[in-house]
A and B are shown apart, each in its own frame.
Chain A
Amino acid sequence: MTYGKGLRPLAALTALTLTAAFALVFFFAPLDADQGFVQKIFYVHVPIGIVALVGFMAGGVFAIQHLRTRDPRHDLRSYVAIHIAIVLALGTLVTGSIWAKASWGSWWVWQEPMLVSFLIVFLLYACYTPLRFSIEDRERQARYASVFAIVAGAFVPLNFAAVRMAEAYIHPRTFATTGGGLPGDMLLTFLVALAGIALLFVTLWKYEMASKNATFKLRALRRALAGDELTPARRSAAPTL
């Protein structure tokens, strides 16, 4: 399967959507009455948070596929999705921290349930790569990583529920950070930004898949040329086909 197919128009579309999103953020969306300019980080922070969570879920779905079909390509898909989602989750934490500093005066706010849940989810998924790395047998590595991805996927919603319940217990006030209560022009900007980040995720995913596949094909060709003289591939957390 070729993942490089359609990558160029997709990348162009992503660049276009992201450019449009940033243009809307800076020139179209109104300044927030309460927070002013700082509120614009919302258009980056929330989309990458949502896309990271969807990426984790997609990793879980690919993992289910992998366990059902035993096709190592599903494991590769799961691995790449989780890998990119971890980077986006880190970005969510950093932007959330900046936003917290700007609007509440502190780099870290334990009363904000979304941010705290995100930290816990990030800490869990941060174990994904060490877990893979510490299993040498390729087949078992893929299987155990899939089991982990499914457990973690089930954990994400429950964790959000628990942290939100705990904060509601102390702080009945909830921060309206979702698109629900937004005026129209802010909502439009937010949706374009969300589409841009989602496209970015898909582009990066396809790009990484294409790159990995090319690497595997190259390795197979080298092996065919060199016979058995080639040194075995070094141990790595990434799946091999």
Chain B
Amino acid sequence: MRRAVGALLRKDLLVELRTKEAVPAMALFSISTFVVFHFGLDRSSLDGSLAAGVLWVTLLFAGVLGINRLFVAEVEQGGFDGFLLAPVDRTSLLVAKVLALLAFLVLVQLIAVPAFAFLLLGPSPWQALPELLAVLALADVGLAVIGTLVSAIAIRTRARDLIVPILLLPLLIPIVLAAAQATAPLLALDGAGPLPGRWLAFLAIYDGVFGLVAYAIFDFLLED
């Protein structure tokens, strides 16, 4: 299974490296969204829960773009058929896609989070960087797992681009809620507050539960 996951992941990253389809669009989208928030809120610097909310809503919507595209090549270029013909565990496709989406999200955030700090954030992002990275990592895992699952459900429906956001947003509300609650004290104007550990624990539980659910039912999305 490890070799299959490695091959699939390499394929996805190579395709992204050559086409440069998802990540640049997601990064550009997040920066545009920051600008939109600047004008929409009419604020030149944000802090606390408002900053956390703007950051997470932007990262969430940028994620939707990537999640929409995640299985497009599999459907349009026959990747599913090729995969189903190969004598490998079907879970390896789930693992590879989750890792690929995770890589995309991390790459986007490497651009979007500094851009957010540069454009909108009032307090210094350095005051609680390790804690912020921990929240980002846990939330990204959840985004990647649920995103992969929803993308796989929606990819073979007629209204794929519509089904992904309406399904994804309610499922991700707890993640955005927990991530924003955990991030808000880190971005406080008067020095970073302590990281609320209960929200990290909640994110970890959420990731774990949906990881298991995805593992249990992903095979049923591939039988055609």
Chain A residues within CB distance 8 Å of chain B: 67, 120-121, 123-124, 126-127, 130-131, 134-136, 140, 143-144, 146-148, 150-151, 154-155, 158-159, 161-163, 165-166, 169
Contact = CB atoms under 8 A, between A and B. Distances in A.
Given A127-B167, A135-B156, A140-B156, A162 B202 contact: yes
19 contacts: A124-B167, A127-B163, A130-B162, A131-B154, A134-B157, A136-B158, A143-B220, A143-B221, A144-B156, A147-B153, A147-B217, A148-B153, A150-B217, A158-B174, A158-B206, A162-B174, A162-B178, A165-B202, A169-B181
B110 interface: no
Contact of A154 (B153, B209, B224): B209
Contacts of B181: 166, 169
Interface residues of B, number: 34
A120 B177 CA distance: 12
A147 B220 contact: yes
B220 A146 contact: yes
Given A127-B163, A159-B173, A163-B177, A67 B220 contact: yes
Contacts of A131: 153-154, 157, 163, 167
By Cβ-Cβ distance, the 5 closest A-B pairs, closest first, are A124-B170, A162-B174, A134-B157, A134-B159, A134-B158
Nearest to A168: B198
A223 B196 CA distance: 63
B42 interface: no
Contacts of A124: 167, 170-171
Contacts of B170: 120-121, 123-124, 127, 155
B223 interface: yes
A121 B173 CA distance: 10
B220 to A, nearest CB: 5
Interface SS of chain A: helix
Given A124-B171, A126-B166, A134-B159, 13 more contacts: A67-B217, A123-B170, A124-B167, A131-B167, A140-B156, A140-B224, A144-B157, A144-B221, A155-B170, A158-B209, A159-B174, A162-B178, A162-B202
A123 B173 CA distance: 11
Contacts of B73: none
B129 interface: no
Contact of B153 (A123, A126, A144, A159): A144
B118 interface: no
Contacts of B213: 150-151, 154
Contacts of A143: 220-221, 223
A130 B166 contact: yes
A134 B163 contact: yes
Contacts of B205: 158
B177 A166 contact: yes
Contacts of B154: 131
B126 interface: no
A130 B159 CA distance: 9
B217 A165 contact: no
A127 B166 contact: yes
A136 B157 CA distance: 8
Interface string B160-187: 0011001101110110011001000000
Contacts of B199: 165
Contacts of A151: 149, 171, 210, 213, 217
A199 B215 CA distance: 36
